[in-house]
Chain A
């Protein structure tokens, strides 16, 4: 049976990684790339409560949860990529035989984690990203392993490239892949180092004691219909209890199973010397072994209050006033959200920080933020133009977002989803400050939002941003030749953040004229500005 389970686990992990890889390739829209995220019960529950929306795409999670009373925590044992990853790392990092750890108190923690998340979700603050197994593991593979793979592939290419050069194999000489880099990766890694190192106490420490999805599934799997049965052949040798990865078997009475902890791995069935263990439809006589370890009501209530209190603390932080005009327009400085991001408060309660959008982003502009916008915004995505522009024809991030924190936008509407506005920092600008004829921002602007004018006392024409033509895509900031901070910078000013409806009418109402450069439409400095006309044409000297 172990072999069968390993097979299913491998299949699920490979499928999970395949979907994540597909998410990183632009233009895939046929497949349900978020399947695994949608299966995570806690992610679904907390997002639905905190954002106060019920999303149809969460049917997979409902199925998983409803399967509990029938087949127990099969999800944990077979499907969950976090569980499979922990099985692998447990095997890798284990020093000697895993000690037998059974603690009723530890088992209660996961319920408290669940209650904490519920408590804060009731106030609209989602901290599910700290504890949802699928959010965590997607972030781990997407934001840590994906860049590492990109780095290693590049390193291998660099090694074999001289060979290609020597033998004139151009496919090797010029092979290249995207460079993927992410901010905050050490903080993400830190969490996983802790989780992985817990193997010194027990295998699957996370699944046993901490996972809130595990708690939900444990709650519905207290006595599943198909479950572990022990026949009279049992001689109470206790081998099964020692080998159980979840310590779900009583050490003293091996016939006794704690079903809420059992992940149906069926190791006990395989290793039993007497062949006394089976997994089949329940019989009457084993219900006596039914036992759960829910925390005391007082502990639950106080944890709920702590969760609510944390939510209230978050809601009383300075950043919570973001987007509330009457409160002085505070908010994280320069934090540009991806196109299609809903209103900031809703965005934060919906976003589960899985990192799918950042994996999908073809220009690597979407980066996780650290504390710039406070604890509730940890690891949320931000457009980082210096790293990459936000292509106004692309909306890969909206396609993969599991919770519609980034709404999918129709192709025709995409150009209107303004994310911010560019500003010129004249003191850094090559044309304004150094009087060099640089027009890179105008060259690269897809919207024709930059015009070059002749100013008094300046030898060269200088750039101006036409604000209502600028969509904040960041092409200018990305390509600005000024080093480090660019001389033109996108800020979230005038970003269109709407929770429903189309962007175009909203943008038109605000007077935005967002359209791509077209021949004849381009602000031709020569035609529009007589001052430049005297100067012949851009880039030419006077006769």
Chain B
């Protein structure tokens, strides 16, 4: 902001800051702080996919802190490409299945696993392995949502450019939205993680390319904010994303957080991309989301708990 401060504004501002400080000191914000002491902001578990997924969610308070009895749950994995799990363009089916089972055990009344796929829908559901894996829980759980009649137009208040879009109806009905992205690179947005994955729940994505992709993406996330993010870092598509094929690095890591931005930010810093290390703020949409207060990209200030099983 280039606006010059006059004295009156300056005093107002000081007073506000003073009040804020006083409130902090007196413990007004304490509940949050104390919670942070027991449950970390980000849980990171290294180990076998199924066990690591369970452990990561448990680290940040367990599935029951999010999914209550009778809740409708929407899982958003990556299954947009006709590629096998080993190629890391799609989310590891074991991770998706584990989360679905956890939600069911927590008492979810309805669990849907949806993605608007780029390649032909049925082929994606099958070849990604997510369809076959989750069929064991429920035959009608996994769907490629490629038909306009599955979507409904919504207005995004506070959006900077993407003021309206067509969102899958299930996202509007669901009580809980869980992002289950695979950790992968993306030629246009650097990485494709939980935030970028939300493009799989809307109908027209081409408009986002024609506008500013990063800006519209943050607009979208301000509407489709996941209650829980579990990033599948069992295999990381380090180059050649989003479609692949590219360099796949086996990291056996699951990252869980209730803050999408934090989870994405951590994933950026935790893995190597194109043979290099990057700071979360080097990914524009993560930086913008932080600036807009959708979550925190300053992971150095967050509590992170890492365990190996």
Cα distance A479–B188 when bound, in Å?
15
Q: Any chain A CB within 8 A of the CB of B140?
A: yes
Name the CB-closest residue of B to A393: B82
A-facing residues in B119-156 (Cβ within 8 Å): 120-121, 140-141, 143, 145-147, 149-150
Q: Which of B140, B147, B244, B273 contacts A537 (CB 8 A)?
A: B273
Cα distance A158–B169 when bound, in Å?
13
Cα distance A444–B189 when bound, in Å?
15
Encode B271-309 as 1/0 by CB contact (under 8 A) with A: 001111011011110010000000000000000000000
Name the CB-closest residue of A to B147: A176
Contacts of B40 in A (CB 8 A): none
Contact (Cβ within 8 A) B283 A481: no
Encode B157-170 as 1/0 by CB contact (under 8 A) with A: 00000000000011
Cα distance A481–B207 when bound, in Å?
7
Name the CB-closest residue of A to B186: A539
Q: Any chain B CB within 8 A of the CB of A518?
A: yes
Contact (Cβ within 8 A) A539 B242: no
Name the CB-closest residue of A to B238: A537
Cα distance A127–B275 when bound, in Å?
61
Name the CB-closest residue of A to B284: A541
Q: Any chain A CB within 8 A of the CB of B229?
A: no
Contacts of B189 in A (CB 8 A): 437, 539
Q: Any chain B CB within 8 A of the CB of A508?
A: no
Mark the stretch among B3-11, B51-59, B209-217 that contacts chain A.
Answer: B209-217
Contact (Cβ within 8 A) A481 B206: yes
Cα distance A481–B209 when bound, in Å?
6
Contacts of A520 in B (CB 8 A): 247
Contacts of A171 in B (CB 8 A): 140
Q: Any chain B CB within 8 A of the CB of A412?
A: no
Name the CB-closest residue of A to B86: A519
Q: Any chain A CB within 8 A of the CB of B30?
A: no
Contact (Cβ within 8 A) B146 A176: yes
Name the CB-closest residue of B to A445: B243
Q: Which of B118, B206, B248 contacts A483 (CB 8 A)?
A: B206
A482 to chain B, nearest CB (A): 7
Q: Which of A170, A179, A537 contacts B274 (CB 8 A)?
A: A537
B258 to chain A, nearest CB (A): 26
Cα distance A161–B145 when bound, in Å?
14
Q: Which of B213, B243, B282 contacts A542 (CB 8 A)?
A: B282
Answer whether A519 and B245 are a contact pair too, CB < 8 Å, given A526-B239, A536-B278: yes
B-facing residues in A137-173 (Cβ within 8 Å): 154, 157-158, 161, 165, 168, 170-171, 173
B-facing residues in A417-460 (Cβ within 8 Å): 430, 436-440, 442-444, 452
**Chain B residue total in the interface (Cβ 8 A):** 52
Answer whether A170 and B210 are a contact pair too, CB < 8 Å, given A536-B282, A540-B273: no
Contact (Cβ within 8 A) B118 A479: yes
Contact (Cβ within 8 A) A539 B188: yes
Q: Any chain A CB within 8 A of the CB of B112?
A: yes
Contact (Cβ within 8 A) B279 A543: yes
Cα distance A362–B245 when bound, in Å?
24
Contact (Cβ within 8 A) A430 B274: no
Q: Any chain B CB within 8 A of the CB of A174?
A: yes
Contact (Cβ within 8 A) A430 B209: yes
Cα distance A491–B33 when bound, in Å?
62
Contact (Cβ within 8 A) A430 B210: yes
Contact (Cβ within 8 A) A362 B275: no
Cα distance A179–B147 when bound, in Å?
9
Contacts of B284 in A (CB 8 A): 541
Contact (Cβ within 8 A) B279 A443: no
Encode A464-482 as 1/0 by CB contact (under 8 A) with B: 0000000000000001011
Contacts of A543 in B (CB 8 A): 279, 282
Q: Which of B243, B273, B279 contacts A444 (CB 8 A)?
A: B243
Cα distance A540–B275 when bound, in Å?
13
Contact (Cβ within 8 A) B149 A161: yes
Name the CB-closest residue of B to A179: B147
Contacts of A517 in B (CB 8 A): 240, 244-245
Cα distance A68–B196 when bound, in Å?
68
Contact (Cβ within 8 A) A170 B190: no
Q: Which of B87, B145, B187, B273 contacts A174 (CB 8 A)?
A: B145
Answer whether A519 and B244 are a contact pair too, CB < 8 Å, given A170-B143, A481-B210, A538-B187: yes
Contact (Cβ within 8 A) B245 A518: yes
Cα distance A437–B189 when bound, in Å?
8
Contact (Cβ within 8 A) B243 A443: yes
B18 to chain A, nearest CB (A): 35
Contacts of B149 in A (CB 8 A): 154, 157-158, 161, 176
Contacts of A173 in B (CB 8 A): 170
Contact (Cβ within 8 A) B278 A519: no
Name the CB-closest residue of B to A438: B209
Contact (Cβ within 8 A) B275 A539: no
Q: Any chain B CB within 8 A of the CB of A524?
A: yes
Q: Any chain B CB within 8 A of the CB of A510?
A: no
Q: Any chain B CB within 8 A of the CB of A52?
A: no
A-facing residues in B162-218 (Cβ within 8 Å): 169-170, 173, 185-191, 205-207, 209-210, 212-213
B190 to chain A, nearest CB (A): 4
Q: Any chain B CB within 8 A of the CB of A522?
A: yes
Answer whether A442 and B187 are a contact pair too, CB < 8 Å, given A522-B240, A537-B274: yes
Q: Which of A174, A444, A519, A541 contacts B282 (CB 8 A)?
A: A541
Q: Any chain A CB within 8 A of the CB of B110?
A: yes
Contacts of A539 in B (CB 8 A): 185-191, 283
Cα distance A173–B248 when bound, in Å?
36
Cα distance A224–B87 when bound, in Å?
67
- Can you spell out 10 A-B residue pairs with CB atoms less than 8 angstroms apart? A168-B109, A171-B140, A176-B149, A439-B188, A444-B243, A483-B206, A518-B245, A536-B274, A538-B186, A542-B282
* Extra pairs beyond A517-B244, A537-B190 (4, CB < 8 Å): A482-B210, A519-B87, A538-B186, A541-B281
Query: Which 10 residue pairs spanning A and B have beta carbons closest together?
Result: A539-B190, A481-B206, A537-B274, A481-B209, A170-B140, A439-B187, A174-B143, A519-B245, A176-B147, A540-B190
